[in-house]
Amino acid sequence: MLDFPSPAVLWVPMIQHDGPAGCMVVDVGREVERGELIGEAAEAGSLNVHAPLTGRIAGIGHVDTARAFDVPAIQLEPTESKGVDEGARETRVSSSTLPDELKDIELLADLADGAGLTDFGLPTVGLGDKLRRAASKGVRDIIINTIPAEPTLLVTKLLLAKYLDDIIKATQWLYSALDARRVWLAMDRSDARQVTGYRSATSGTPIRVVGLSNKYPQGSPTLLTKVVLGREIPYGQSPIDVGVLVLELEVLPALVSAVRRNEPMVDRIVTVGGPAAKRPGNYRICVGTRYADILGYVGLSHSVVRIIDGGLMKGASVKSLDAVVTKQTSSIMLLDQDTDRIPNPGPCIHCGWCQEDCPAGLDPMALLDVVERGCPSEAKSLFPHACIECGLCSYVCPAELPLTEAVVEIKQKVSLDV
Ligand code: SF4
Ligand code: SF4
């Protein structure tokens, strides 16, 4: 993992997940320590926000992120000369000093809330809320996903190699706190040595490694629930509703840090890549860092025409270099003229590919038709809420029609009557 230096200024947004804003609790001019609370979760669904680095609060304003505009934000001028010291982080880590069992799910959820942890999914929610919901629904099976949610996200191998002790420890806590039957570690089976290695490394723990084909969008919670446990999720429901908690691998080391020393979530390992990136790699980047600073440090091999935050299939285009990374930023792709795929929509040729490739068995063409005719009420019989927003329909469409956008739009307009 590559070190990302401290920028001259951070703009830390009060919304870094799919939920309401945190409430600012610091004034301009105040000196804050790294990890100090600067935004408080004041309403249901909001998340705590912490100072990513030690420094001075220089201003209050608004900032854009890849997924939201004009978000209330705190300007922080760091006084630390560089980013998170990975060496220091490692020397303080010793999972063996922590208990194997933490039977109180409420305690784990509170610690996750205190640290402002997200579930690292899309849409992104607070981990504490997710754990409480799992407990209230009597979840007994846990799936930890190591299969990349997007083909371009490469960080899970690194996390497995670097944080295996933490991953096992957090798994044991979730297992005991939820009184679970089994924890499944879903892994790409194409690397047989890796699967065998982790089977051996996790023997004697509640973890069972399951090798799956890595066919996009296999990492989706809906598909993992079906493939690993054979459970179909009824229309409009989630894995938790059928007794399964699906978590991304990144949750586990973050949860251990929160339990061990109340270490909040102030940065994220971000895969920076794409053909225009001069020094691609996995960087630990503080939330609130501007894309301009990232481009300045990583460098450009040639002109970038588009920046995607979050992967090529489900990511969001970055509209301004002054926008900042958040807890939702898993990757940053720098596309050049040759690789950017700007759609040029034409008429539907009724090839049926969108229907054939939809993993949810939907008819995206019919849903687009409903949107274009302005008749959202007709969409109910087309089950739009089953869409997992994988983007495959748009990807395969030879007419380059905005099918995913249409389905997402109709999901927002049509109520979920089940
Ligand atoms: S994005 Fe398209 S292909 Fe993917 S689940 Fe939704 S409708 Fe189906
Ligand atoms: S893939 Fe595109 S062109 Fe083919 S049926 Fe679907 S919408 Fe029409």
Q: 401: Cβ below 6 Å to ligand 2?
A: yes
Tokens (6 digits) for 134? 């799992």
Q: 0.85 cut: is pTM over it?
A: yes
- Phi and psi at residue 48, in whole multiples of 5°? -60, 145
Phi and psi angles of residue 76, each rounded to the nearest 5 degrees, phi first: -120, 130
CA 341–ligand 2 middle distance (angstroms):
17
Buried b (16+ CB within 10 A) or exposed e, 289-314: bbbebbbebbeeeeebebbbbbbbbb
Residue 352 alpha carbon to ligand 2 centre in Å: 5
Whether 190 maps to a domain, the answer reads yes
Whether 55 is in a domain gets the answer no
pLDDT, tens digit only, all 418 positions of the chain: 788 999 999 999 999 999 999 999 999 999 999 999 999 999 999 999 999 999 999 999 999 999 999 999 999 999 976 554 554 454 444 566 667 677 899 999 999 999 999 999 888 999 999 999 999 999 999 999 999 877 666 788 889 999 999 999 999 999 999 999 999 999 999 989 999 999 999 999 999 999 999 889 999 999 999 999 999 999 989 999 999 999 999 999 999 999 987 899 999 999 999 999 999 999 999 999 999 999 999 999 989 999 999 888 888 899 999 999 999 999 999 999 888 877 899 999 999 999 999 999 999 999 999 999 998 888 989 999 999 999 999 999 999 999 999 998 898 888 766 5
Q: Does the CB atom of residue 352 touch ligand 2 within 6 A?
A: yes
User: In the structure encoding, which two tokens stand for residue 149, read together?
Assistant: 């949610």
Q: What's the structural domain count of the chain?
A: 2
pLDDT at 2: 81
Q: Please indicate, yes or no, if residue 191 is contained in any of the structural domains.
A: yes
Q: 254 in ligand 1 pocket by Cβ < 6 Å?
A: no
Asked, for residue 174, whether it belongs to a domain, the answer is yes
To test ligand 1's pocket by mutation, which of 226, 396, 407, 409 has the most ligand atoms within 8 angstroms of CB? 407
* Within-domain flag for 179: yes
Q: Cα(124) to centroid of ligand 2, in Å?
A: 30
**Residue nearest to ligand 1 atom 6, measured at CA:** 387
Q: Specify the residue with its C-alpha closest to ligand 1, atom 8.
A: 358
Q: Are residues 229 and 103 in the same domain?
A: yes
* Domain CATH code at residue 98: 3.40.50
Any ligand 2 atom below 6 A from CB of 348: yes
Residue 244's domain comprises: 88-261
Is residue 362 within 6 Å of ligand 1 at its C-beta?
Answer: yes
User: For the chain, first and last CA: distance in Å?
Assistant: 46
Query: Quick check: is 331 in a domain?
Result: no
> What local confidence, expressed as pLDDT, does residue 274 receive?
92
